[in-house]
């Protein structure tokens, strides 16, 4: 039986795009979605259909999931990958920024879960894959909103893992480290400090943090996708997996006193950068 997969946030060059290719390579029927379909290029494999989807809209998410079930008769895997970067000092963020970031990164996970899980529960089969981040577990300076929104996603994954057990629906939380994608470039292009910021002297450090996930140790998106899809399609998907550049060091940090780890993170991202 061909599995039907929905992936959110599938713009070319990103993690979602790579996941679509890998699910299709494994023989799945894939629905690739993005707010702007024109930002999705040509996929390498067949069996991938493109749909517009604004994950911040209840109606759009419900309509998309219902459409897939109506056409295919089922929905087997949902990958909540859509996300946005909101860099800068936490107190410099407007409440509109806060709401927008959580709407895209966190509330969207609940929207798709509410829409898809009833169909999965009826068939007593399905997998929800939530893409979080290592910074949802170990926070870093200058990226507070993203850290907070991804921390919430991890809690959502844990609760869904328990509450979906009666219906045989599996939940896999993925915490990427550094993975090659467009998210830093897009976030960096839009970034600026407010004129009255207390943190003007730290601008080089903020920019350093924005592009940290795209350093030389970043895992290629296709390699990341192969490993995630392999676990998602396995007979017993794990609750949690973390991979990508820095993922091992972040895993080690979880065993250390938090005050020490936060001190280290501050030292790394508050040093003066030589020009």
Strand pairing category for 29-34 and 4-7:
parallel
Report how far residue 81's alpha carbon sits from residue 248's, in angstroms, rounded to the nearest whole number: 21
How is residue 76 written in tokens? 């087997």
| CA within 13 Å, CB half, 141 | 19
Report how far residue 33's alpha carbon sits from residue 20's, in angstroms, rounded to the nearest whole number: 10
Helices 221-232 and 15-25 cross at an angle (nearest 10°) of: 50
For the sheet with 169-176, list strands across it. 48-52, 29-34, 4-7, 77-80, 126-131, 169-176, 240-243
User: Using an 8 Å Cβ cutoff, are 176 and 134 in contact?
Assistant: yes
Instruction: Give residue 212's pLDDT.
Output: 87
Q: Let me know if 199 is a catalytic residue.
A: no
Instruction: Give residue 28's pLDDT.
Output: 97
How is residue 49 written in tokens? 């259909």
Question: 4-268 — its CATH code?
Answer: 3.40.50.720
- Active-site pick, 29, 31, 119, 146: 146
Residue written as tokens 């390579």?
A: 25
The terminus-to-terminus CA distance of the chain in angstroms comes to 58
User: Using an 8 Å Cβ cutoff, are 33 and 53 in contact?
Assistant: yes
Instruction: Give residue 185's pLDDT.
Output: 56
Q: How many CB atoms lie within 10 A of CB 22?
A: 26
Instruction: Give residue 215's pLDDT.
Output: 79
How is residue 163 written in tokens? 């509450």
| CA within 13 Å, CB half, 201 | 4
- Active-site pick, 29, 31, 150, 161: 150
Instruction: Give residue 85's pLDDT.
Output: 86
Instruction: Give residue 274's pLDDT.
Output: 53
Element (H, E) at 207: helix 203-210
Where the chain has pLDDT below 50, the residues are 275
Reported pTM: 0.95
């Amino acid at each position: 039986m061909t599995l039907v997969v929905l992936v959110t946030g599938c713009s070319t060059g990103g993690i979602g795009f790579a996941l679509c290719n890998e699910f299709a390579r494994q023989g799945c029927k894939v629905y690739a979605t993005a707010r702007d379909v024109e930002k999705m290029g040509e996929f390498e494999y067949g069996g991938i259909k493109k749909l517009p989807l604004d994950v911040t809209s209840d109606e759009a998410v419900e309509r998309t999931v219902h459409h897939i079930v109506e056409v295919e008769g089922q929905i087997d895997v949902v990958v909540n990958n859509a996300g946005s970067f909101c860099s800068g000092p936490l107190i410099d963020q407007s409440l509109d920024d806060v709401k927008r970031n959580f709407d895209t990164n966190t509330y969207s996970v609940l929207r798709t879960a509410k829409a898809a899980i009833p169909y999965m529960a009826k068939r007593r089969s399905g997998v929800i894959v939530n893409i979080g981040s290592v910074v949802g577990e170990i926070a870093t300076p200058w990226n507070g909103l993203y850290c907070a929104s991804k921390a919430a996603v991890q809690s959502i994954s844990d609760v869904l893992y328990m509450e979906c057990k009666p219906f045989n629906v599996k939940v896999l939380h993925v915490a990427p480290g550094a993975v090659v994608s467009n998210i830093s470039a897009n976030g960096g292009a839009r970034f600026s400090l407010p004129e009255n910021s207390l943190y003007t002297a730290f601008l080089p450090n903020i920019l350093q943090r924005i592009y940290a996930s795209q350093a030389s140790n970043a895992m290629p998106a296709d390699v990341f996708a192969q490993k995630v899809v392999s676990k998602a399609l396995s007979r017993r998907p794990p609750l949690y997996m973390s991979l990508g550049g820095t993922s091992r060091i972040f895993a080690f940090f979880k065993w250390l006193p938090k005050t020490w780890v936060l001190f280290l993170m501050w030292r790394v991202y508050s040093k003066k950068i030589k020009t």
